[in-house]
Structure 1
Amino acid sequence: MTTQPFTVADVMTKKVVAVLPGAEFKEIVATMERWKVSAVPVVEGESRVVGIVSEGDLILKEELHDHRLGLIEQLRRGDATAKAGSRRAEDLMTSPAVTVAPESSLPQAARLMAAHHVKRLPVVDESGTIQGIVSRSDLLKVFLRPDEDLAAEVRHDVVEHLFPLSHHLVEVLVEAGVVTLSGTVRDAALIPVAARLARAVEGVVDVRCELTAGAGA
Structure 2
Amino acid sequence: MRLTTLMSAPAVTVAPDAPLPEAARLMADTGVGCLPVVASDGHLLGVVTDRDLAVRRAAPGGDPPAEVAAVMSAPAVTVDADGTVDDAYRLFRRTGVRRLPVLRDGRPVGVLSVDDLLIDALRRFADLLAPVSGSVLREDGGRGFRSPAPSVPSPSAPVPGGPDSPVVGDVMGRALVAVGADAPFREVVDLLRRWRTGSVPVLAGDGRVVGVVSEADLLRAQDPRVTGDPPHLTARRLMTAPALTVRPGTALADAARLAVNRHLRRLPVVDAEDRLVGSVHRADLLAAVGRDAADLADRVRFALLAAVHPEAFSRLSVRADGGRVVLDGRLPPGLGAAEAARLVRTVPGVGAVDVTARPDAPAPGAAHGGER
Match of 2:235 among 55, 80, 89: 89
What is the aligned partner in structure 2 of residue 124 from structure 1? 270
Report how far residue 99 of structure 1 moved: 0.9
Residue identity over aligned pairs, in percent, reads: 37
What is the aligned partner in structure 2 of residue 18 from structure 1? 178
| Alignment pair present for 1:115 and 2:275 | no
Which deviates further from its counterpart, 115-124 or 21-30?
A: 115-124
**Structure 2, unpaired ranges of 5+:** 1-157, 300-319, 329-346, 350-372
What is the aligned partner in structure 1 of residue 247 from structure 2? 101
Alpha-carbon RMSD across the aligned residues, in angstroms, is 3.5
TM-score scaled to structure 2, two decimals? Answer: 0.35
Q: Deviations over 1:84-128 (max 9, x none)?
A: 756110000011111111111111112222333322211111111
Report how far residue 144 of structure 1 moved: 8.2
Please tell me whether the aligned partners of residues 83 and 92 of structure 1 are also in contact (alpha carbons under 8 angstroms). Answer: no
Q: How many Å separate the matches in 2 of 1:116 and 1:84?
A: 29
What is the aligned partner in structure 1 of residue 189 from structure 2? 29
Q: How does 1:62-81 map to 2 (within 5 A)?
A: 62=222, 64=223, 81=226
| Alignment pair present for 1:40 and 2:186 | no
Q: Deviations over 1:158-212 (max 9, x none)?
A: xxxxxxxxxxxx941255xx899xxxxxxxxxxxxxxxxxxxxx989xxxxxxxx
Report how far residue 145 of structure 1 moved: 5.1
Please tell me whether the aligned partners of residues 253 and 289 of structure 2 are also in contact (alpha carbons under 8 angstroms). Answer: no
Query: 1:23 is aligned with what amino acid?
Result: A
What is the aligned partner in structure 2 of residue 172 from structure 1? 322
Taking a change above 3 Å as real, the CA distance of residues 143 and 116 of structure 1, as seen in their structure-2 partners, is: closer
Taking a change above 3 Å as real, the CA distance of residues 203 and 43 of structure 1, as seen in their structure-2 partners, is: farther
| Alignment pair present for 1:140 and 2:140 | no
More helix by share: 1
**Structure 1, unpaired ranges of 5+:** 70-80, 155-169, 181-201, 205-217
What is the aligned partner in structure 1 of residue 164 from structure 2? 4
Q: Which has the higher contact order (CA 8 A, sep 6+)?
A: 1
Report how far residue 45 of structure 1 moved: 2.4
What is the aligned partner in structure 1 of residue 302 from structure 2? none
Instruction: Say how many residue pairs are matched.
Output: 147
Higher Rg of the two aligned structures: 1
Q: How many Å separate the matches in 1 of 2:348 and 2:242?
A: 32
Which deviates further from its counterpart, 11-20 or 107-116?
A: 107-116
Please tell me whether the aligned partners of residues 260 and 282 of structure 2 are also in contact (alpha carbons under 8 angstroms). Answer: no
Q: How does 1:51-66 map to 2 (within 5 A)?
A: 51-62=211-222, 64=223
Taking a change above 3 Å as real, the CA distance of residues 127 and 38 of structure 1, as seen in their structure-2 partners, is: same
Q: How does 1:149-160 map to 2 (within 5 A)?
A: none
